Amino acid sequence: MNKQLADQLRTLGLTSNETKAYLALLTHGPATAAEVADAAEISRPKVYGTLKSLVQMGFCLPTGDSVARFQPMPPELALNEWITRRTQERRAQTRREEQAADEVLRMLPRVDAPDNREEGFMEVGVGVQKTMDMFGDLAERAEFQLDIVLILPQILPREAWNQYELQAIGRGVDVRVLYERNAISEGAPHLPIHDAGGLIRVADNPPLRLALRDRGREGIVSLVEAAGDTLVATSVAIRHPELAAPFQILFNRQWRQAQSVENLETDSSPPT
């Protein structure tokens, strides 16, 4: 018996005995159960059940009156019918499983999915895009407060300036942005935030590029440097309040010492 052929038939769902019996019928033609048992080397007690299965599966038909003989079905007909039947059975089984799953879900208590962000207290991100993604993720999850220290160089393209801050303000989040003095003079990036109700202050040399949400529940510390025409960024996301708390204290201290944007505009206005 061709081993590769037998393996493929077993892959299609036939048992070892069913495979041997069907190949014996194809080789020798119509045969009695005893003849199939001898040709396929299947024990007599097992061959009857094997042939019954082949009949039910559509691989052979019983013929004759007093002594049944088994006629093999042409492979192209038998296999096409068998594959169609198995496909229908799998679809029916899938529907039964989906229905059972729906019923189980209705009966089981609902449990919130765990927040995977709490599994690690810190995450390091390398690259400008990763830093932008980490900041956007933190800003989008701010619930009531978003504090930011912005230091040059800017990593966001101009068209993306303030989008996360304005979205947060639109959700009712209190937004405070502490700008490095040089940063606020380049294209007045603070005005949309200020006009939308955010608070702006200016400092000469803020120590860190920083973002915090919800009074130090989480934070991001970033280092961004210019290497020629390329920006090199490394960020650390801090996802435990006890670790983020010192950075919130630092921000609050810098905020108290910084100059409000209203005073800045007054100081820079020409004398009358």
Residue-wise pLDDT tens digits, 64-83? 776 789 999 999 999 999 99
Is residue 41 helix, strand or coil? coil
Domain's final residue, options 105, 128, 149: 105
Structural domain that includes position 158: 120-268
264 and 129 in a common domain: yes
Q: Give the total number of structural domains in the chain.
A: 2
Domain annotation covers residue 111? no
Residue-wise pLDDT tens digits, 179-227? 998 888 766 778 889 999 999 999 998 988 999 999 999 999 998 887 7
Write the CATH number for 219.
Answer: 3.30.870.10
264 and 139 in a common domain: yes
Rounded to the nearest 10°, the torsion over CA 19, 22, 25, 28 is -30
- Own/partner contacts of 232-236, CB < 8 Å, gap of 24 or more, are 232/128, 233/126, 233/127, 233/128, 233/130, 233/131, 233/155, 234/124, 234/125, 234/126, 234/131, 235/124, 235/125, 235/126, 235/130, 235/131, 235/134, 235/135, 236/122, 236/123, 236/124, 236/125
Domain annotation covers residue 259? yes
Residue-wise pLDDT tens digits, 136-159? 999 999 999 999 999 888 777 777
34 and 75 in a common domain: yes
**Which residue is listed with tokens 């088994």?**
70
